[in-house]
Structure 1
Amino acid sequence: MSAAGGHALRLAGVHTHIGAYHILHGVDLEVPAGGTTLLLGRNGAGKTTTLRTIMGLWKASAGSISFGAADLVGRSTPEIARLGLACVPENMGIFADLTVRENMVLAARSARSADHIDAERLRWIFDLFPPMKRFWNHPAGLLSGGQKQMLAVSRAIVEPRALILVDEPSKGLAPSIIQNMISAFRQLKAAGVTILLVEQNFAFARQLGDTVAVMDDGRVVHRGSMAELAGDEALQQRLLGLSLGAHQ
């Protein structure tokens, strides 16, 4: 999908209520097409709620969310997915009792079986995440934490996507797996995929981010380049309460 004004995704004045709680208080966010945008902030700032609101899992009570020329507010999650968006939730969203193959078939909506998954795309995924090929017929619940995260990302990209939302992909992963994830996301970006990442690991964020938005109390309080934030420890302290330099 083409992105108007160079932005794949644009949120303007988005409010979200969950029951009696007012979580998002007028979020303004622009995600440039073809880049990686990091959504940072302290715990409880509203980052996950923002991703879930974009995907229609929670309904925006005010404001607009546009993906290219399409307005997402009021659309169902399946409708939003069909526009070319995918989301990797923090809990990964895999089916533990199913095999890796069965998980992938379910995610590939156009495939009735593994034989119907695009072979070239599957080879690309296997190159990104070799354990997916090695454990193709193993139950997903038996995979390690890092392998489950690989499966979650693989499910999101088994069909071509214009925009991928990922919630804390490095959480709980060993450093070697984190580097594998960084390489995979770089390859996705090189393939033209726009990425919006929520992340708490600031060294991970620094290596991947082109642009950054920082949230606090349900609002975006800072927007800019990752290079600017990474080079300004005083700004890191003010916005995040700690410095990227302490997490190398």
Structure 2
Amino acid sequence: MAEPLLRLAGLHTHIGQYHILQGVDLVVPEGELTMLLGRNGAGKTTTLRTIMGLWRASAGSVSFAGSDLAPLATPEIARLGIGYVPENMGVFAGLTVRENMVLAARGGELDQGRLDWIFSLFPALARFWSLPAGNLSGGQKQMLSIARAMVEPRRLVLIDEPSKGLAPAIVDALIEAMQELKRTATTILMVEQNFRMAQALGDGVAVMDDGRVVHSGRMAELAADQALQGRLLGLSLGAHQ
């Protein structure tokens, strides 16, 4: 088997006195979208933030394309080709949509061909290009947050709950955009609570509970096994179609 693009081994993270990650083992194959599922408080967001160096691991390793990320600062990790879409979107409300995109581009230069591709996925960004990002709706801000991670080719994109609080029509648009991003062979690790979205997009899946990965496999197999869904997640994916 090929070496996975991202591998977490025995990963522990403390935040103050709290021991959040308690030995996370996770592999993310190159060219796939891996869903990271689990109940609230399981450690999913902390996992993404630890990968990006926003939280420091207290033990274990994070390997990306054979490189150890542990000693690197967040900007250095990003320069390796890793994009990050945080749960809070991280949009600069006082800057225009264009300025938000420029900040995410290496050297502040936007590639027009790639920009046209992004506009085809998120037409609202073209309409509001010169307006403050604070004027956007919640769904449009999420589109901007994802577009910033797509403004340059990335080997890996980490996305934290992109559908949170969004209307079903906006979720459908995000699913289509993520499917298009998958076609570029970009590797994606996504935290998501919307199981319709998880089923539509996921190739592989890892389920976390209490700071550990308690299940890993193929998303289609989890989606087809309601008993396993209930045991791991306390609910059925079929109830969230």
User: What TM-score range do you get, normalising by the shorter chain?
Assistant: over 0.9
Answer whether contact 1:59 1:74 (CA < 8 A) is retained: no
Tell me which residue corresponds to 1:139.
132
Q: CA deviation at 1:71?
A: 0.7
Matched, 1:35 2:32: yes
Match of 2:122 among 120, 126, 129: 129
Q: CA deviation at 1:36?
A: 0.5
Which segments of 5 or more consecutive residues in structure 1 lack a partner in the other structure?
none
Tell me the distance in 2 between the aligned counterparts of 1:16 and 1:101: 36
Q: CA deviation at 1:6?
A: 3.9
Match of 1:57 among 38, 54, 57: 54
The alignment's C-alpha RMSD in Å is: 0.9
Matched, 1:21 2:14: no
Q: How does 1:24-103 map to 2 (within 5 A)?
A: 24-103=21-100
**What whole-Å deviation, never above 9, does each CA across 1:139-169 have from its counterpart, x for those lacking one?**
1011011100000001111111110000000
Tell me the distance in 2 between the aligned counterparts of 1:99 and 1:46: 33
For normalisation by structure 2, the TM-score amounts to 0.98
Tell me the distance in 2 between the aligned counterparts of 1:8 and 1:171: 27
Q: CA deviation at 1:5?
A: 2.6
Tell me the distance in 2 between the aligned counterparts of 1:32 and 1:147: 30
Matched, 1:219 2:212: yes
Percentage identity across paired residues of the two chains = 70
Tell me which residue corresponds to 1:191.
184
Tell me the distance in 2 between the aligned counterparts of 1:121 and 1:106: 15
Which segments of 5 or more consecutive residues in structure 2 lack a partner in the other structure?
none
Which contiguous aligned blocks of 4+ residues in structure 1 show a shift greater than 3 angstroms?
none
Q: CA deviation at 1:91?
A: 0.2
Aligned length: 241
Tell me the distance in 1 between the aligned counterparts of 2:147 and 2:203: 22
Secondary structure in structure 2 of the residue aligned to 1:176: helix
Secondary structure in structure 2 of the residue aligned to 1:51: helix
For normalisation by structure 1, the TM-score amounts to 0.96
Match of 1:228 among 221, 233, 239: 221
Tell me the distance in 2 between the aligned counterparts of 1:86 and 1:25: 25
Tell me the distance in 2 between the aligned counterparts of 1:235 and 1:69: 33
Letter in structure 1 aligned against 2:17: A
**What whole-Å deviation, never above 9, does each CA across 1:54-73 have from its counterpart, x for those lacking one?**
00000011111001111101
Letter in structure 1 aligned against 2:15: I
Q: CA deviation at 1:109?
A: 2.7
Letter in structure 1 aligned against 2:149: A
Could you tell which deviates more after superposition, 175-184 or 50-59?
Answer: 175-184
Tell me the distance in 1 between the aligned counterparts of 2:4 and 2:30: 5
Secondary structure in structure 2 of the residue aligned to 1:98: coil
Tell me the distance in 2 between the aligned counterparts of 1:137 and 1:220: 43
Q: CA deviation at 1:192?
A: 1.1
Secondary structure in structure 2 of the residue aligned to 1:14: strand
